[in-house]
């Protein structure tokens, strides 16, 4: 009876544990506009849902729902198999009024118990004047263009004005000190569907430039400007460190973009029978304006111990070990932590005892680029070797920096360091302990070797001797051996390159299969990353491009130099750009994933056929 009771108790505990893991999450965009449809999804991490209840959607009309979809995934890690499943309830709703609204929570029943989701706040912007104008213009165009679609004018980049697509630039400060960090932000505003943007910061006179990794944080959201709802995104951010004073100018930057626009001159009937496309890609240049920054000189006189650091810092030090033998090494580690121009500052100066052998410090940069400059710490390891016994004191290390906020120089100090050095136990032909008692000043003192000095026999010559000929024979054999090894290494390298080329298609196919599984699991970000790896990896293997050089620019240039047609190269690069942009773009990720997956498979097959013909 007790055993039966224990089994029931164990089953009850397991059931309670499993049920405690059940979650229900709401997924919805953060913004939309009046008249636009969006999807609101409630995702449960189980498929054993008996019922779902959802409250009212204030500010929205429910167009359809709930539609349900389920997914199951099985993974094996270190021989252990795990399985997860989910059930998604999706509502399609239409925004009817502007303002901020709270999307309702949902409640599900699983095993007789109720589980609730959280709520989500969404901002509804007014309907875009631009969107209305485009709809009216599209209707007018369709009425005026009733002739043959092949004779109608194509849409060009000139049809996209500066109000439809532009870039702004802003500086966190317009007046700064020399070496003080200033953040430059390039922000994109668009009313059109951008497929690709290319453009980098040019070499700047008078600035040290560090790019902030804003791509991982980039998100596309709506912003209302002059009655229009623009899609906006922080496109690039750079931290500038001025290296000279005066009014310095950051020149304008031209970004080359590719925009997908609707081709209203085409008849859908002609498109169906291969007569054209309802959309086309046009090239458009976006010019970000120049900006001027005033740089003030650092206050004078500068302290003698100023290390060139500008920002906010702390310093700490540690000596290890504190007890050593003479001629053994010790390490003084100084750690400078903070935020500012850490990649440009000099190492702190340390005053070691005069008879210590000192090596140049090893510098370990453990900083990351942020919007306020480099942040983290820089470690300086000073290796020293005391040559004589005794107790030595190392004075506190000073670190002087300029604080732009306080507009003054500040000096930090570490504690002093004490090291006890025992006399070396090493002995030699001379009395080493007597040598340790001798203080070495500016020059090393060399001791005269005592004892018998052997004389070489007169008349013994190396030239023409057996040793002389053996030296040449051994040298020749080593030369031949090195030549053989060098040739084998060349053949091995060629074999590796050849294997990469042969396996390119197979590796790309394997990645696309992984992407297909991710698509079925609705993991959009992982899907787009895997497709990009398949595309870039295929080109890298097929064209034998090293991983360190594997980027869009090098791939495009290599394909062109290989003789691949330009339209095929453009299609290939457009799909890569679509993957980059789709990760952050709003809309239906499932439809986008299906489109990109089909396009990626087709373009790899076409490239494979084109390269084989060369």
CATH of residue 579: 1.20.120
Q: What pLDDT, on a 0 to 100 scale, did the predictor assign at position 223?
A: 85
pLDDT recorded at residue 179: 93
Q: Which domain holds residue 28?
A: 21-125
Distance CA 265, CA 151 (A): 9
Q: Residue 45: which CATH number?
A: 2.60.40.680
The residue from 296, 318, 339 where one domain ends is 296
Residue with more model confidence, 463 or 40: 40
Evaluate whether residue 145 is within a structural domain: no
Residue 587 belongs to some domain of the structure: yes
> Is the sign of the CA dihedral 485, 490, 491, 492 positive or negative?
positive
The residue among 314 and 526 whose pLDDT is bigger is 314
Which one has a higher pLDDT value, 528 or 298? 298
pLDDT at 143: 41
Phi, psi of 567 (to 5 degrees): -65, -35
Give the CATH number for residue 387: 2.60.40.740
Predicted confidence (pLDDT) per residue in 451-467, tens digit: 454 554 444 555 666 77
Residue 163 lies in a domain: yes
Q: What pLDDT, in 10s, does the model give residues 201-244?
A: 888 889 999 888 765 455 678 888 888 888 888 888 999 999 99
Mean predicted confidence (pLDDT) in 134-148: 41
Tell me what the mean pLDDT of segment 389-395 comes to. Answer: 92
Which tops the pLDDT comparison, 303 or 538?
303
Residues 115 and 233 in one domain: no
In a domain, 442, yes or no: no
Asked if residue 168 belongs to a domain, the reply is yes
| Residue at 558 is within a domain | yes
What pLDDT shows up at residue 221? 82
Overall number of domains in the chain: 4
Residue 82: alpha-carbon gap to chain centroid: 30
Q: Which pTM value belongs to this model?
A: 0.54
Which of residues 296, 316, 336 is at a domain's end?
296
Q: Is the pLDDT of residue 502 over 70?
A: no
Would the pLDDT of 181 be above 80? yes
pLDDT of 262 above 70 = no
**Among the three residues 263, 296, 329, which one is the final residue of a domain in this structure?**
296
Helix (H, G, I), strand (E, B) or coil at 493: helix
Q: Which two tokens stand for residue 404?
A: 């732009």
State pLDDT tens for residues 533-592.
888 888 888 777 776 666 777 787 788 777 888 888 888 888 887 887 776 565 567 777
β-pair partners for 31: 123
Query: Is 193 inside any structural domain?
Result: yes
Q: Please tell me the predicted confidence (pLDDT) of residue 469.
A: 75
**Residue 252 and residue 194 share a domain:** yes
Spatial CA neighbour of 115 closest among 124, 123, 107: 107
User: Residue 153 pLDDT more than 50?
Assistant: no
90 has a pLDDT exceeding 60 = yes
Does the pLDDT of residue 381 top 90, yes or no?
yes
Q: How far is CA 67 from the centre of its chain?
A: 37
Q: Which of 21-30, 131-140, 534-543 is predicted with the least confidence, judged by mean pLDDT? A: 131-140
Residue 448 has pLDDT above 80, yes or no: no
pLDDT averaged over the chain? 78
**What is the reported pLDDT for 535?**
84
Look at residue 193 in the predicted model and tell me its pLDDT.
83
Same domain, 121 and 34: yes
Looking at the fold, whether 282 and 383 belong to one and the same domain comes out as: no
C-alpha span between 408 and 303 (Å, rounded): 11
Considering the domain architecture, whether residues 328 and 256 belong to the same structural domain is answered as no
pLDDT of residue 590: 74
Q: Is-contact 171 184, C-beta < 8 A?
A: yes
Examine the domain organization and report whether 517 and 574 are in the same domain: yes
Classify the phi-psi angles of 165: left when phi > 0, otherwise alpha if psi is within -120 to 50, otherwise beta.
Answer: beta
Question: What tokens does 173 get?
Answer: 């400060």
Residues 358, 281 share a domain: no
In the structure encoding, which two tokens stand for residue 415, read together? 């504690």
Q: Give the number of C-alpha atoms closer than 13 A to the C-alpha of residue 179, restricted to the C-beta side.
A: 22
Per-residue pLDDT, averaged over 60-80, amounts to 80
Average pLDDT of the residues in 37-49 = 90
């Amino acid at each position: 009876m007790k055993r039966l009771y224990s089994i029931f108790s164990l089953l009850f505990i397991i059931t309670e544990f499993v049920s405690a893991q059940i979650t229900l999450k709401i997924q919805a965009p953060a913004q939309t506009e009046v008249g636009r449809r969006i999807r609101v999804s409630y995702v449960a991490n189980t498929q054993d849902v008996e019922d779902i209840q959802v409250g009212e959607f204030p500010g929205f009309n429910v167009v359809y729902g709930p539609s349900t979809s389920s997914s199951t995934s099985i993974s094996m890690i270190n021989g252990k198999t795990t399985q997860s499943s989910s059930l998604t309830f999706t509502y399609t709703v239409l925004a009817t009024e502007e303002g901020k609204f709270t999307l309702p929570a949902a409640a599900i029943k699983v095993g007789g118990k109720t589980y609730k989701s959280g709520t989500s706040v969404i901002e509804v912007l007014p309907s875009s004047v631009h969107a209305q104008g485009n709809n009216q213009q599209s209707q007018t165009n369709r009425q005026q263009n009733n002739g043959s679609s092949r004779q109608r004018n194509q849409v060009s980049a000139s049809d996209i004005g500066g109000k439809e697509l532009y870039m702004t630039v802003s500086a966190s400060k317009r007046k700064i000190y020399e070496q003080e960090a200033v953040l430059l932000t390039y922000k994109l505003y668009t009313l059109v569907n951008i497929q690709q943007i290319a453009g980098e910061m040019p070499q700047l006179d008078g600035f040290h430039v560090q790019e902030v990794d804003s791509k991982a944080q980039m998100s596309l959201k709506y912003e209302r400007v002059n009655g229009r709802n623009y899609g906006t995104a922080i496109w690039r951010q750079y931290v500038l460190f001025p290296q000279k004073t005066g009014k310095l100018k950051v020149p304008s930057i031209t970004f080359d973009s590719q925009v997908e626009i609707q081709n209203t001159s085409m008849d859908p009937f002609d498109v169906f029978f291969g007569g054209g496309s309802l959309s086309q890609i046009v090239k458009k240049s976006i010019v970000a304006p120049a900006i001027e920054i005033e740089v003030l000189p650092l206050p004078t006189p500068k302290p003698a111990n100023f290390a060139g650091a500008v920002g906010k810092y702390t310093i700490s030090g540690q000596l290890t070990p504190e007890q050593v033998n003479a001629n053994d090494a010790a390490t003084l580690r100084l750690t400078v932590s903070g935020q500012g121009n850490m990649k440009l500052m000099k190492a702190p100066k340390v005053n070691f005892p005069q008879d210590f052998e000192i090596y140049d410090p090893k510098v370990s940069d453990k900083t990351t680029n942020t919007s306020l400059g480099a942040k983290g710490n820089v470690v300086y390891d000073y290796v020293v070797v005391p040559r004589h016994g005794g107790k030595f004191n190392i004075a506190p290390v000073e670190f002087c920096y300029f604080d732009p906020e306080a507009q003054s120089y500040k000096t930090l100090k570490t504690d002093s360091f004490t090291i006890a050095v025992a006399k070396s136990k090493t002995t030699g032909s001379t009395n080493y302990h007597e040598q340790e008692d001798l203080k070495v000043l500016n020059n090393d003192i060399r001791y005269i070797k005592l004892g018998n000095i052997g004389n070489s026999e007169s008349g013994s010559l190396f030239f023409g001797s057996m040793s002389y000929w053996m030296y040449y024979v051994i040298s020749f054999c080593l030369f031949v051996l090195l030549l053989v090894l060098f040739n084998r290494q060349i053949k091995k390298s060629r074999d590796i390159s050849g294997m990469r080329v042969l396996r390119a298609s197979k590796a790309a196919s394997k990645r696309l299969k992984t992407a297909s599984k991710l698509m079925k699991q609705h993991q959009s970000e992982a899907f787009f990353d895997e497709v990009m790896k398949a595309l870039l990896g295929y080109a890298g293997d097929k064209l034998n491009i090293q991983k360190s050089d594997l980027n869009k620019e090098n791939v495009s240039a290599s394909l062109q130099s290989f003789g691949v047609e330009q339209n095929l190269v453009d299609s290939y690069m457009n799909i890569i750009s679509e993957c980059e942009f789709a990760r952050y773009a709003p809309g239906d990720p499932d439809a986008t994933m299906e489109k990109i997956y089909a396009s990626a498979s087709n373009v790899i097959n076409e490239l494979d056929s084109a390269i084989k013909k060369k």
